[in-house]
Amino acid sequence: MNKRYLFLAILSLVGLAMSCKDESTYPLPYNDRETGAYMRVVRITSNVFDTNDLSNSALEGVFEIVDEEFGDLLESFEIVVGIRRGISISSEATVKTVAGSDFQPVPEPTYSKYKRATIRISANDALAALKTTTGFFGANGVYTAGDVVNFRGIVKLKDGRTFTNTNTNINILSGQFYNSTFVYSVTVRSLLAGSWVGTYSLKQTAIWSPNHSAALHATAFPAYLNQKLFPDQTVTLTKPAGGLSTEREFDVQYRGKTVKMRINLENGAVYIPLQYSGVDCTTERQLFWTWPTFGSFTGSPALAPGLPQGAVSNRGTYSTSSTGLTAGNVISIGVDDDSDEYGRRNGYCTWVRRVRLQLTKL
All CATH 2.60.40.1940 domain ranges in the chain, comma separated: 38-189
Amino acid making up residue 252: V
Please check whether the domain covering 38-189 is classified as CATH 3.30.70.1290.
no
DSSP 3-state of 142? coil
Per residue in 4-44, pLDDT tens? 444 444 444 444 444 444 555 555 565 666 777 889 999 99
Are the C-beta atoms of residues 291 and 271 closer than 8 Å to each other? Answer: yes
Question: Which pLDDT score is estimated for 342?
Answer: 84
DSSP string for 219-237: IISHHHHT--SS-SEEEEE
Q: Band the pLDDT of 293: cuts 50, 70, 90.
A: confident
Give the end-to-end CA distance of the chain in Å, rounded to a whole number: 88
What length does the chain have? Answer: 362
Per residue in 221-275, pLDDT tens? 777 777 899 999 999 999 999 899 899 999 999 999 999 999 999 888 898 999 9
Question: Which pLDDT score is estimated for 8?
Answer: 43
Per residue in 161-201, pLDDT tens? 998 987 554 444 444 445 667 889 999 988 877 899 999 99
